[in-house]
Structure 1
Amino acid sequence: MIQVKNAVICDGTGKEPFSGELLIDGEKLAEVSPIPFGELDAEVLDARGMAVTPGFIDAHRHCDLAALYDPEFGRLELAQGITTAVMGNCGLAPAPCTEEYRDRLYDFLEPCLGTAPKNSFFPLVSEFFRALETRRYPLNLGVLGATGAITAASKGFDNVPFDRKSRHRAEIYVKDAMEAGALGLSCGIMYTPECFSKTEDFVFLAKICGEYGGYLTSHIRGEGNSLTESVKEVLEIGERAGVPVNISHLKVTGLKNHGWGIERAVGVLEEARGRGQDVTADAYPYPGGSTTILSLIPPTVMERAKGEAAAYLGTQEGIRDLAQEIGKEFSSWDNMVSSIGWERIVIGSVIREEDRIYAGLDFTAAAALSGSTETELFCRLVHENSGKIGVILMSMAQADVDRVLCLPYVSLISDALYGGGGMPHPRLYGAFPKFLREYAGEKSALSFAEAVRKMTGMPARRLGLRDRGTLEPGNYADLLVFDPAKFTDRATWQNPRQEAEGLEYVLVNGKPPQERGGKIVKK
């Protein structure tokens, strides 16, 4: 047993912290009390002068391949207090995957998820679960079924509608994921091939998920000019399918949409919640996001490329096509180039050694260095790096980020990508301590208790993890001990690969991380 003494306990429910002690018996919390237990036959952990909180839960992390193939996986996550991470978000996942579409799927995923060994693929999500279970982890892991991978495996990447046969295949894939233990489904409606899917296609998939008690979390179709309509689409999917829904990384992009755009979307969400619909959202504490460069290619160009964007943009026809389309606005797709400008799009990672001089530069600066136009450089980079480029989009206003994160139904995520090479987004290393430092500290925007709830109890409830997220007897003993004045992030835009510091103790299922006692959490 472990007796945690002299603690200031912030239990993850949102209640004010209180002085007390905790008793851990094996993997679980046996007692939590404001009254000292006295001398017990137990190992003593003295938390004098420090806060004790539940371990942080990151419900949106793109660590699917890192968990399998990175021998250091868990180090930078635990440094920022993450004891449970959930993968399979934004419809992006390495499973299910057919051998026919393996290369196209994995090339598309690489800027977000990182690399996988050649010729590895998982035909079913249940096989991906089995691969995860062959390893031991220093933190807990959860999996979402990803409708992007399901769509690609069912009917490919091209703009062809679901038919009876492909719907049947998709149904088998969703059922396999949920029966294997997936916590729910994620979709990435703005990404290929899901951008070609109709609302009713997502309703069909979500209904199957709902039969297993899962929920749907969505990277919506548009986060700029079409934000409100895109939020309404996901609300419609949830309502028609009868499932709870979550809006992934809620934000508004595009300079002209700042301020008023987020207020319209929040109004729609709160109207739905007022009607009794089970809808939540999550967000990260940065005014810039990160994604694959392929998401910047207009859908008209992607359709003409027939799934071979990298090859197409290496042709004169493809270069002319992109030059004509990249400045246009689309009714149901956010053109980030036209809405924020090349100068706010930063090249984060590249594959070719000779192109690494551009990492960390915005496209305008990189184009000047290369002696070409932004469009010409874009096409060349996509073509010569096989589309495997990560970009950082400085697309948001800090005031909008603050507004969203202070909403009572919005939890914290990192949305961390693992394909960022030498210049990843700093959220990979620091999202959780940054949020606590800024919002419960410097900005005084939230109480310490409410900030902790957004990282613990709230995501646990959304994920359906009834025995995690709060410090209550019978729950798993995932907990952190730290001085809030010393626990901080160090990752910056200029120097992102810096681990957080100041965390004194971490326990995962009652064990220190080095004992690798993490679990695969399932529905």
Structure 2
Amino acid sequence: MYDILIKNGTIIDGTGRPMYRADLAIKEGVIADIGELRHAQAEKVIDAAGQYVTPGFVDVNNHSDTYWQLLANPSLESLLYQGVTTIIGGNSGASLAPLTEPGIIRSIQKWTDIQKINFNWLSMKEFLAAVERRRPATNFATLVGHGTLRRGAMKDETRTITPEEISVMERLLKIGLKEGGIGLSTGLRYTHARDAGARELMTLVSEVAERDGVYATYVRDEEAGLVKAVEEAITIARETKIPLHISHLKAVGEENWHLMDEAFNLIETAALNGIDVSFDVYPYTTTGSVLYTLLPEWITRDGRKMMLERLKDGQVRAAVLRDMRKKPTDYSRILISASTLSKMLSRRRISEIAALQGKSPEETVLDFLSASDGRAIVSLEVLSPKNVLRAIQHPFSIISSNGAGYSIAHKATGDLVHPRNFGTFPKVFAEYVREKKALSWEEAVHKMSGLPAKKFRLEKRGALVRGFAADVVVFDPEKIQDLATMENPYQYAVGISHLAINGILALENGTLGKVRSGKVLRSKQSWFSW
């Protein structure tokens, strides 16, 4: 007697192999059998006729942790309706552990109002135990954030790091990996990490390589310096022999769109030379960022507090405005998504706010930063549709949201979240597979399951194979669809009838279940010390 029997469905197993007709049985949280099981019995039988049965989707670039949704709203509904069963946190250089002292949580203040959160951990072991107590709906694994380590060693100081401080970072990283971290992430575009040099990065990445982890990097530049930034990431991977993953690879700004050709060439050449390299992409031409990235780098170099203090100086402010005006920026394509100011300002374009205030867009940006204490998130319509398509089709790409899990109830906060939080995975199926036929169903599922699970060392996940964890999606290929838009992102995707996570139904007939069955997934080396 099985726990669940999914009959009459079409299996897409996540490996990239052609789909085939079969039944699938689940028992005690794992896939017990796949084949012709017409005489099998089960506590629950699901008729999947006309539907595809696939592995659960693995979102390798997820921010439910640093946006605090993993802890405040562990149901993560918007992810479940997309078929996501596993998320990787600790991305872009920011993780919630290890912390040398509570104040180091400031590494997430770009995205979360840290004045409103409570936590009781410092170590990675304590953090992962706290996540387990919250019983998340999805499985969760985390990278160790370079920015978090750097703050732990240097506090808020912005200066040249010392060899002793690099040693402190190395020790913290080693412990974080031993206690469950699956690799290292960097966010080299952010102010606190921009000064990280080759010695610092090589030291840390080498430690991860020795422990069979992965290195995920938000590269140093996505504009004119994109090619040089990708070269830096590949050089580190080549020297340390580590699996490399580039987070949300993109060329920002129309004047830089042509650079994607060279970025792709670098990645393909690296792969031909034996480097394990991949990147993730989301199916939108609108991206999200923190507002201060619109400023010249020199004003943000010493951190948020110093930036805000220096902007009070009239001469400095004039120099910033002058440099901002030299850069071709279309402020009508930049929306305020979230800030500490009145929610009335969310959903407005910077050009709109500037017109209402009778100021230039550049002055409006500086005023907004000062008034919001430097904490504001924006959406920017700055990506090429052609590049997004090519990235989705690329053999080394992984589909990922770069988002977080939300409930529709979050709309009451006034935050204008990106539609990718609600629609990434179904949008790929609806637009790029069913409509544009840019990918086959098998290719798309592979990019969402088998490929990311293998890259991020997720044991016995990402494929429909006997003995693997029963993370399973059942969806109608004619009905799966994203509904979220920039204007109204708070709409769950449709088309997924059933979703099992570790053999427990999180969605049944399109309705959320009552049991959250996600697990914390730890690195292999932690198994022997946990």
On whether the aligned pair clears a TM of 0.5, the verdict is yes
Distance, in Å, in 1 between the alignment partners of 2:94 and 2:270 is 27
Aligned-partner residue type, residue 492 of structure 2: E
Distance, in Å, in 2 between the alignment partners of 1:154 and 1:293 is 26
Aligned-partner residue type, residue 515 of structure 2: E
Q: Could you tell me how far 1:98 is from its partner in structure 2?
A: 4.4
Q: Aligned in 2, Cα 1:412/1:362: closer, same or farther, shift over 3 Å?
A: same
Q: Does 1:189 align with 2:188?
A: yes
Distance, in Å, in 2 between the alignment partners of 1:249 and 1:179 is 27
Distance, in Å, in 2 between the alignment partners of 1:324 and 1:192 is 21
Deviations 1:328-359 (A, max 9, x none): 5xxxxxxxxx2543222221112122xx3332
Q: Could you tell me how far 1:384 is from its partner in structure 2?
A: 1.3
Unaligned runs of 5+ in 2: 507-513, 524-530
Tell me what 2:511 maps to: none
Q: Could you tell me how far 1:305 is from its partner in structure 2?
A: 6.2
Return structure 1 stretches of 4+ with deviation > 6 angstroms. none
Tell me what 1:400 maps to: 387
1:266-415 aligned at under 5 Å gives the runs 266-303=264-301, 307-328=305-326, 338-353=327-342, 356-415=343-402
Tell me what 2:526 maps to: none
Distance, in Å, in 2 between the alignment partners of 1:86 and 1:484 is 26
Deviations 1:174-201 (A, max 9, x none): 1122111111111111112111111232
Distance, in Å, in 2 between the alignment partners of 1:203 and 1:132 is 30
Q: Which moved more, 1:429-438 or 1:513-522?
A: 513-522
Unaligned runs of 5+ in 1: 329-337
Distance, in Å, in 1 between the alignment partners of 2:127 and 2:115 is 13
Distance, in Å, in 2 between the alignment partners of 1:37 and 1:115 is 54
1:64-75 aligned at under 5 Å gives the runs 64-65=65-66, 66-71=68-73, 73-75=75-77
Q: Which moved more, 1:384-393 or 1:416-425?
A: 416-425
Tell me what 1:147 maps to: 146
Tell me what 1:522 maps to: 522
Tell me what 1:87 maps to: 89
Q: Could you tell me how far 1:103 is from its partner in structure 2?
A: 7.0
Tell me what 1:131 maps to: 130
Distance, in Å, in 1 between the alignment partners of 2:115 and 2:498 is 32
Tell me what 1:12 maps to: 14
Q: Could you tell me how far 1:156 is from its partner in structure 2?
A: 3.1
Distance, in Å, in 1 between the alignment partners of 2:505 and 2:114 is 29
Task: Tell whether the 8 Å contact from 1:252 to 1:261 is kept in structure 2 after alignment.
Answer: yes
Q: Does 1:462 align with 2:455?
A: yes
Q: Does 1:475 align with 2:476?
A: no
Q: Secondary structure at the match of 1:239?
A: helix
1:203-214 aligned at under 5 Å gives the runs 203-214=202-213
Task: Tell whether the 8 Å contact from 1:301 to 1:321 is kept in structure 2 after alignment.
Answer: no
Q: Aligned in 2, Cα 1:522/1:118: closer, same or farther, shift over 3 Å?
A: closer
Distance, in Å, in 2 between the alignment partners of 1:223 and 1:437 is 28
Task: Tell whether the 8 Å contact from 1:93 to 1:109 is kept in structure 2 after alignment.
Answer: no
Distance, in Å, in 2 between the alignment partners of 1:95 and 1:116 is 18
Give aligned-pair identity as a percent: 30
Distance, in Å, in 2 between the alignment partners of 1:68 and 1:262 is 33
Task: Tell whether the 8 Å contact from 1:95 to 1:121 is kept in structure 2 after alignment.
Answer: no
Q: Aligned in 2, Cα 1:131/1:428: closer, same or farther, shift over 3 Å?
A: same
Distance, in Å, in 2 between the alignment partners of 1:62 and 1:344 is 24
Q: Does 1:54 align with 2:55?
A: yes
Tell me what 2:484 maps to: 491
Q: Aligned in 2, Cα 1:101/1:522: closer, same or farther, shift over 3 Å?
A: same
Distance, in Å, in 2 between the alignment partners of 1:515 and 1:103 is 30
Distance, in Å, in 2 between the alignment partners of 1:290 and 1:95 is 24
Distance, in Å, in 2 between the alignment partners of 1:18 and 1:494 is 39
Q: Aligned in 2, Cα 1:29/1:339: closer, same or farther, shift over 3 Å?
A: farther
Aligned-partner residue type, residue 497 of structure 1: Y
What is the aligned length?
A: 507
Q: Could you tell me how far 1:93 is from its partner in structure 2?
A: 2.5
Distance, in Å, in 1 between the alignment partners of 2:368 and 2:419 is 23
Distance, in Å, in 2 between the alignment partners of 1:325 and 1:127 is 45
1:254-265 aligned at under 5 Å gives the runs 254-258=253-257, 260-265=258-263
Task: Tell whether the 8 Å contact from 1:28 to 1:474 is kept in structure 2 after alignment.
Answer: yes
1:32-43 aligned at under 5 Å gives the runs 32-33=34-35, 35-43=36-44
Aligned-partner residue type, residue 352 of structure 1: L
Task: Tell whether the 8 Å contact from 1:348 to 1:390 is kept in structure 2 after alignment.
Answer: yes
Tell me what 2:527 maps to: none
Aligned-partner residue type, residue 519 of structure 1: K
Tell me what 1:432 maps to: 425
Deviations 1:223-246 (A, max 9, x none): 121111110000011111221101
Q: Aligned in 2, Cα 1:351/1:256: closer, same or farther, shift over 3 Å?
A: same
Q: Secondary structure at the match of 1:515?
A: coil
Task: Tell whether the 8 Å contact from 1:430 to 1:500 is kept in structure 2 after alignment.
Answer: yes
Q: Could you tell me how far 1:72 is from its partner in structure 2?
A: 5.5
Q: Secondary structure at the match of 1:194?
A: coil
Deviations 1:411-450 (A, max 9, x none): 1000015799521111011111001111111110000111
Task: Tell whether the 8 Å contact from 2:74 to 2:135 is kept in structure 1 after alignment.
Answer: no
Return the TM-score normalized by structure 2: 0.91
Q: Aligned in 2, Cα 1:7/1:72: closer, same or farther, shift over 3 Å?
A: same
Q: Secondary structure at the match of 1:76?
A: helix
Q: Could you tell me how far 1:166 is from its partner in structure 2?
A: 0.6
Q: Could you tell me how far 1:122 is from its partner in structure 2?
A: 4.4
Aligned-partner residue type, residue 477 of structure 1: A
Distance, in Å, in 1 between the alignment partners of 2:318 and 2:437 is 50
Q: Could you tell me how far 1:119 is from its partner in structure 2?
A: 6.0
Tell me what 1:200 maps to: 199
Deviations 1:73-93 (A, max 9, x none): 321110111111111111122
Aligned-partner residue type, residue 321 of structure 2: A
Q: Aligned in 2, Cα 1:103/1:64: closer, same or farther, shift over 3 Å?
A: closer
Deviations 1:112-133 (A, max 9, x none): xx65645647433333222212
